[in-house]
Structure 1
Amino acid sequence: MAEDLLIVSGSKEEQYRQLLPQLEGLLQGEEDIVANMANTAAALKEQFKWWWVGFYVVKGDELVLGPFQGPVACTRIKKGRGVCGAAWEQAKTLIVPDVEQFPGHIACSSFSKSEIVVPIVKNGIVTGVLDVDSEHLDHFDLTDQEYLEKIVGLLNF
């Protein structure tokens, strides 16, 4: 298991390329999903300094707040509600450049301006989502989508 996280600079893609093997080392051999979600959220927050990084886990007909880094958050989200619920319902990554323009957006924090939500899929079923918020408009793009999808693929849900 990795002891320290090496924070790198450079382009966004370079930062992801350097972070990915570190996360693999951090998660390798650890079977507890809560520990792995917690370390993943912490590593992403530390590397990218985003406003909020965390997980929601599917429990019944709701997403329930899991490990996260950032200010307090919404605890439960219904399927189809907000960006997280929509990503769960559609089983696809959603990039929202301006959360104020997203129909039904759930405003857990007025500081959140843009968002990306990546579903975690196991055997064709969404088991949770990775939710990342930025205090900047139009902060996320296809590079974030590509690498965050790889990162959630490391989690053994």
Structure 2
Amino acid sequence: MSRIRIGDQTWDLSNATLELYHCRGPEADWNLALTHAGETLWLAGTVMPGPASIEALIGAEFTVDLRSLDELAGALLGRSVTLYPGGQGVCALAFRGAASPRGVRLAAAANCDWDRYLETFDRDQPVALDFDLDAAVAALHPGNLP
């Protein structure tokens, strides 16, 4: 089971599927399809170096594209959000790949500053973000999209 927590709200996801592209290059792109309440939500980013096998994902650092993080968080929360993982001085989020029965476990936690202009949260404190995702690996594409 996969789970995402933002502040005091938690969502259980029924499915997580990872697909990687440009795996023969020095940096691969990844897309993670997350199923929640019958809807597919996306998270994306890069991993270095491009993995040659599923085993190479174990221990790899998956950097998250923060635009996709904002889109995912906004879809779950039902309102616009701009998050700054680690605060505005850091503003980065990464998963470390670990072995899992489904393929790869992606877990990360961070306290996030957020854009106060959007009034996403009702308090003026950092918001805790916690990911624990157990993803099946759909494909490792050597080049561009199939």
Structure (1 or 2) with the greater helix fraction: 1
Q: TM-score, normalised by structure 1?
A: 0.28
Structure with higher RCO (Cα < 8 A, 6+ apart): 2
Q: TM-score, normalised by structure 2?
A: 0.29
Structure (1 or 2) with the greater strand fraction: 2
Query: Which structure has the larger Rg?
Result: 2
